[in-house]
């Protein structure tokens, strides 16, 4: 049937790229500025930076698993998305990670982050391509 799409393409390929490229790139861009604040912000910032590295590594593992069509890839990707959303909420709501958000905008950042990861979770749960590729 022509509607039975499978394989790594379309939105699934984009998700792989988000997990493999975008998350580590975001960390690489923001971490140096945060490291400059390490003497001032202390252990809390160090813990968040280490956690962000592990979350990014989990995302890379999930993206590579999806790309290579591993059996548990979808489950790992869901875990990576949930952990990434939780990490974003921690970064946005704690005073340890430096930011330049205007006052009062933090709830919008949190909502956008949760919506972003939520859409990807819904996609993984409902996509015909994901179902056909990993069935």
Q: Give pLDDT tens digits for 11-44.
A: 999 999 999 999 999 999 999 988 888 888 889 9
Assigned domain for 110 exists? yes
Assigned domain for 88 exists? yes
Tokens describing residue 32: 């140096």
What is the model's pLDDT at position 69?
Answer: 95
What is the model's pLDDT at position 135?
Answer: 83
Contact 113, 92 (CB under 8 A): yes
Assigned domain for 3 exists? no
Number of domains in the chain: 1
Assigned domain for 4 exists? no
pTM, rounded to two decimals = 0.91
Assigned domain for 124 exists? yes
Assigned domain for 2 exists? no
Assigned domain for 94 exists? yes
Assigned domain for 5 exists? no
What is the model's pLDDT at position 2?
Answer: 56
The stretches in the chain having pLDDT less than 50 are 1
What is the model's pLDDT at position 119?
Answer: 98
* Structural domain boundaries enclosing 125: 10-133
């Amino acid at each position: 049937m022509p509607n039975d799409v499978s394989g790594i393409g379309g939105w699934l390929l984009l998700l792989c790229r988000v997990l493999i490229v975008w998350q580590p790139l975001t960390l690489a861009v923001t971490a140096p500025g945060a490291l400059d604040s390490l003497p001032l912000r202390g252990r809390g910032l160090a813990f968040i930076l280490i956690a962000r590295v592990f979350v990014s590594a989990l995302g890379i593992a999930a993206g590579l698993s999806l790309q290579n069509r591993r059996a548990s890839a979808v489950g790992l990707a869901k875990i990576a998305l949930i952990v990434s959303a939780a990490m974003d909420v921690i970064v946005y709501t704690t005073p340890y990670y430096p930011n330049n958000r205007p006052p009062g905008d933090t709830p919008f950042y949190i909502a956008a982050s949760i919506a972003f990861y939520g859409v990807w979770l819904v996609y993984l749960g409902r996509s015909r391509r994901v179902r056909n590729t990993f069935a």
